[in-house]
Chains A and B, each alone.
Chain A
Amino acid sequence: MVDASERHGGFGKVVSVAWREFKHTALTKAFVFGAVILPILIWGVMALSALFVSREPPPLTGTFAIIDPSGLVIAEAEKGFRREAERRREGVANVGAAVKAMSEGDANAAMALTDTRGVVEITVRGVSDPAAADSLREEVRDNKLLGMAEIDPKILSADHGNTPLKMLVQTNSSPKHTDLYERIVRDAAVRARVANTGGDYESMQTMLQRPPLNTERIARGGGVAKDRGDLRMLVPIAFMMLLWISTFTSGQYLLTTTIEEKSNKVMEVLLSAVSPMQLLAGKILGQAAVSTVILVLYGGAAFSLLAGLALADLIQPSLIVYLVLYYIMAYFLIATIMAAIGSAVSDLREAQALVTPAMLVLILPMVLIVPITDSPNGTLATVTSFIPPAIPFVMMLRLGGPEPIAFWQIALSMVIGFGSMFGLLWVGARIFRVGVLMQGKPPTPLELARWAMYR
């Protein structure tokens, strides 16, 4: 006979169902690969590529020839290469010049100006006789010179007429190095032109510099904080997607495991040991654990990234509290729908017919991302905040944004959301109780309603 020490209580059965559900979903190779390893791999590849990019490139040393009858460009180019060598030695990014290059649409130059990696030691060989061009070209072809430039004297006049510079580089010259030569020589040409026309390049450049802009926003606490508009736009979308992915993934698992138990005919065996309510509770709790793992995993990764970028202040503590509350609401809404559908059908194909209408409502927030984030207090956003299955997703989109949401709207969404969650749990549980023993053709919506009314 079984003695008392060999037995556990009724809640132990719910825990046993929940643990089996969690174990056979989250502790499987498919889940570990799909939900854990794959994102880690993607992060790893990104990190590795960043590592490769940040590796010190080989030193760039050699001679660059410039044919310049005036000698002015040669002198400026020598200074330019020297400045570049010093900048890299000292590891100083030329931010001002980079911003200017960017404003001129020259992204490569902008990147090069902020790049401080790699030693640059370039000597300029100045040549005044244009007839030497052919022999210099031969030297470039033989890799004796890094490259050469020919300066047309017209470039140095005020009326330069956009006369082009001619430049020749080695066959294997890397784009970054070519960018460097171009930038130094073109810059030298401009400096020489300014000097040639009696001006002062440095003071002229200082005068032309646009003032830097430091935009601040009023922080929620009443103070001011640095504005990061682009990132702030991403926060509500990230929060909603986090909620969506974590709840829908486990909801899908709940659907498939329920269908599997029916098709394997194991359902009746289970119901001989536990009540349908214990089974449903166990399955929902087990998948809640799966969902939480996904939420913590992905949410944690996203928060770590923000923390790494010193942008953690974008996430208000109150937002985390709302995330938890709306996560509970979203999970139970979706899990109940999926469990009820899973109990009512015999295979995944049949499930699609019932899942599709539910998905149409649940996908609503995805469709409305742009209008809701654009206008978090608009009519559309406000109205959809009170439509039950969409409530948690719409509210996270709104709460993650910069505009404050009236507290009464948050409170009302909670009341409607949690009220409909409990109502749906009641209906879903009754459908589940009847559906798990049904075989044959899938039920119509009318039959589902009748099941919910069975005593």
Chain B
Amino acid sequence: MIRPAASDGAAIVLEKVDKRFGATHAVKAMSLAVPRGSLCGFLGPNGAGKSTSIRMIMSIIYPDSGQVRVFGGSALGNKDRIGYLPEERGLYRTMRVLEFLTYMGKLKGLTPAAAAKRANDWLARIELPNVAKKRCQELSKGMQQKVQFIAAVLHDPELLILDEPFSGLDPVNARLLMRLIEELHGDGRTIIFSTHQMHTAERLCDRVVLINRGEKLLDATLDEVRAEFDPRTVVVELLSGAEAPRLESLAATMPHVALTERVDGKNGDEWHVHVARDGDPQPVIAAIAGALPVRSIALKQVSLEDVFVELVTAGGGTVPPLSDPTTSGQEVNRG
């Protein structure tokens, strides 16, 4: 059974937070706690309510009801302890890079000298040499994103909130950013990032919050998710396709086997044998391996995407596309 993290000593606590924008119910009675030191992913499709939740955490917008606490108080009183990379990236186009970063450092409470020194150090660390004196508008989009990332971490925050940090980055820069996030997490910082790319979260996070249509579907560590959503699908690669009817006959005789289906696998055809929730897949594996010539047989690795699909369908909903255009018209920016 998954239990939400305890709110005692948590970096962030949301209690029954609700937010509407006109007719749109953006966030529905959301409660969660992000423990200090965790690397937590806010996952869900575009428009799920991730950015709205993050903006409420940042006290940029306020909930209609419920409470948001950051380090036990308001984010307003703790802004200097928080680094934030918003979904909508922004730079002063005509400002020079070092001047912009120094300005942001000063707004985060650093002295001008400390801000300038840290900006130069970070520019070197993030592989952006010789751009300090360039105007922001002269940089490529990827470079601008890196500058914005520096602006978020420049003041050495205890809590780092990154809204879709990998969107628009090429694979090389995405990998660099992942490494930096891991390093910052390794230093003991609490990090939250939102994404609709489940595999990225799977690689980085130790905790995930799944959100869909303003509702929290899941709030757990990755280990808890794997334990809870224990895979019950046995993936079989037969040595010969001619053995397929025998596999289907065998499976049909086994108790707790709900379904057998053929799937296009990486190495050709593979068969997925689905074991019912009250069944144990181990005897199924043993029986198939003993009766048929198989190239490989294993339990399927559960993915967050599978979990998401399962949770949405179990709730009677339809699975939204994981990359969905945003809304239009006059409204507060929200994710």
Chain A interface residues toward B at CB < 8 A? 1-2, 5-9, 12-13, 16-17, 20, 24, 261, 264-275, 437-443, 455
Contacts and interface: CB of A to CB of B under 8 A. Distances in A.
A441 B328 CA distance: 10
Contacts of B148: 269
A171 to B, nearest CB: 60
A5 B55 CA distance: 30
B24 interface: no
18 contacts: A2-B155, A2-B156, A5-B111, A6-B110, A7-B111, A8-B110, A12-B109, A261-B90, A266-B91, A270-B107, A271-B58, A272-B152, A275-B59, A275-B76, A437-B55, A439-B332, A439-B333, A441-B330
In the complex, the 8 A-B pairs of residues with the closest C-beta atoms, listed nearest first: A266-B90, A265-B90, A440-B330, A6-B114, A272-B84, A273-B107, A268-B86, A16-B106
Contacts of B333: 268, 437, 439
Contact of B88 (A7, A16, A265, A270): A265
Nearest to B76: A275
B20 interface: no
A402 B116 CA distance: 56
A264 B93 contact: yes
B91 A6 contact: no
Nearest to A2: B156
A439 B86 contact: no
B24 to A, nearest CB: 13
A8 B89 CA distance: 26
- Which of B91, B92, B111, B156: most chain A Cβ within 10 A? B92
Given A438-B330, A441-B330, A272 B106 contact: no
A203 to B, nearest CB: 78
Contacts of B93: 264
Contact of A8 (B55, B94, B111): B111
A437 B107 contact: no
Interface string B48-59: 000000010011
Contact of B332 (A16, A17, A270, A438): A438
A267 B80 CA distance: 17
A2 B89 contact: no
Nearest to B92: A266
Contacts of B71: none
A439 B111 contact: no
Given A13-B106, A437-B61, A437-B333, A269 B111 contact: no
Nearest to A273: B107
A272 B78 CA distance: 10
B329 interface: yes
Contact of A272 (B61, B79, B109, B330): B79
B86 A7 contact: no
B185 interface: no
B229 interface: no
B321 to A, nearest CB: 23
A8 B109 contact: yes
Nearest to B61: A437
B238 interface: no
Contacts, number: 101
A9 B89 CA distance: 26
Contacts of A1: 156
A173 B331 CA distance: 77
A15 B269 CA distance: 67
A440 B328 CA distance: 7
B124 to A, nearest CB: 19
Interface in B146-190: 148, 151-152, 155-156
A13 B107 contact: yes
A295 B61 CA distance: 38
Contacts of B86: 265, 268-269, 272
A176 B333 CA distance: 74
A455 B82 CA distance: 24
Given A1-B156, A437-B61, A7 B331 contact: no
Nearest to A267: B90
Contacts of B80: 7
Contacts of A8: 106, 109-111
B90 A7 contact: no
B211 interface: no
A440 B331 CA distance: 7
Interface string B82-108: 101010111111110000000110111
Contacts of A13: 106-107, 109
B42 to A, nearest CB: 16
A265 B89 CA distance: 6
Contacts of A7: 80, 109-111, 114
Given A268-B333, A272-B82, A455-B62, 16 more contacts: A2-B110, A2-B155, A6-B111, A6-B114, A7-B110, A8-B109, A267-B90, A268-B86, A270-B107, A271-B60, A272-B60, A275-B59, A275-B79, A437-B333, A438-B330, A443-B330
A446 to B, nearest CB: 13
A269 B76 contact: no
Contacts of B330: 438-443
A13 B82 CA distance: 15
A254 B62 CA distance: 26
A441 B329 contact: yes
Given A439-B330, A439-B333, A268 B60 contact: yes
Contacts of B328: 440
B161 to A, nearest CB: 8
A134 to B, nearest CB: 78
Nearest to A262: B90
B334 to A, nearest CB: 10
Nearest to B102: A16
Among A6, A16, A264, A273, residue most surrounded by chain B Cβ atoms (within 10 Å): A273
